[in-house]
Structure 1
Amino acid sequence: MLACGVDRPYPRGHTQLITRIAEQGLVIGELPPGDHPTPSRFIVRNRVIAALTRGTVVVEAAHRSGSLATARAAQRLGRHTMGVPGPATSGLSAGVHELLRGEAVLVTDAAEVVELVGDMGELAPDRRGPVLPRDLLAPGARRVLAALPGSRAAPLGEIARGAQTTDDDAVARLYELRALGYVERHGDGWKLTRQAMISVRGGRSRC
């Protein structure tokens, strides 16, 4: 979509690219042949870009930006408007963040864009953090592991209460966890190993 006549490729450095697009696809413009591009014509052109698409994604935009003009035109037309957040200290993120404070949807990759503008049922994959060894434990064993204090040994009764289970079930889980290297006996109590302390802290920090 050009902001000038279709017989005037702009920018001139992209003449070969625009010619190839014309041969294999379509080059369009609102202005009659021979018209030159001007700053105001780019703003006018952007509303047509918004109308031709199912949605507009703004990746970088200052507070005064042609990209914001396109996004606002898309909103007026009822199209999806999306933004990719950037550093809070960057002036090129300011316009995107302004959109996201309004009606725009935050997206981070192509799959999330397709989920909004694609066909029904095209959903972005679920996002999950890295799988830790403790994530592979049975639910009962994970509860017992989480019930152990991080810096001291704990008696069986305290662990069972923390895991909301019986003493018999807790002791069975503790022996299972000991075989896997997560806990060790300390007198009459049980204590996390160094490996388990790293795993448990990592899991709690994500909650």
Structure 2
Amino acid sequence: MTPVPGILFIVAAPSGAGKSTLVNALLAREPDISLSISYTDRAPRPGESDGKHYHFVDRATFDAMAAAGDFFEYADVHGDRKGTARTAVEPLLAAGRDVLLEIDWQGARTVRAAKPDCVTIFILPPSRAELERRLRARATDSEATIARRLANSREEISHAPEFDYILVNDRFEDALADLQAIVRATRLRQPLQRARHAALIEELLKA
């Protein structure tokens, strides 16, 4: 029997909104979702490791992958390029595995055009002051980088209406519960359930 294709979830947010923390907590609760690790041509930051946070490659390698069509999507994000490999998404979806992408609004727009049935989620901070506080609490970025991220956040947030869902990450547990609710409700959509339980429905309809 051909498996029902998996669901592609996309989560985007401005830097400092708490996207990665929420996604990691979601994955711990929903082990049936695979997280796609993006490629980037920037150098690792302190504490980052290859294959866990990103696949770190040089610019020439990134260019070659893009030219070869190896990316499902890629975009320039804060001056660095990030991309999702096709091999990290398409085979898993075809096998019935749900996949989650942590990408920006540009990548989300590209994926949505190619795969309209993807489910897109945008995470907002509760206030601009809190966004700045979270960026400074990282203690990994320079003042110039923080200023650039805050400035860029306006452009990013302006694209929130393009997404299917918008979450405000104020109380972490509430935001996580909302994120998990979206995943569970999506999995219960009628077309998916009808395909998954075709034999049961057929049996129940027998005279």
| TM-score normalised by structure 2 residue count | 0.32
| TM-score normalised by structure 1 residue count | 0.32
Q: Which has the higher strand share?
A: 2
Structure ID, larger Rg = 1
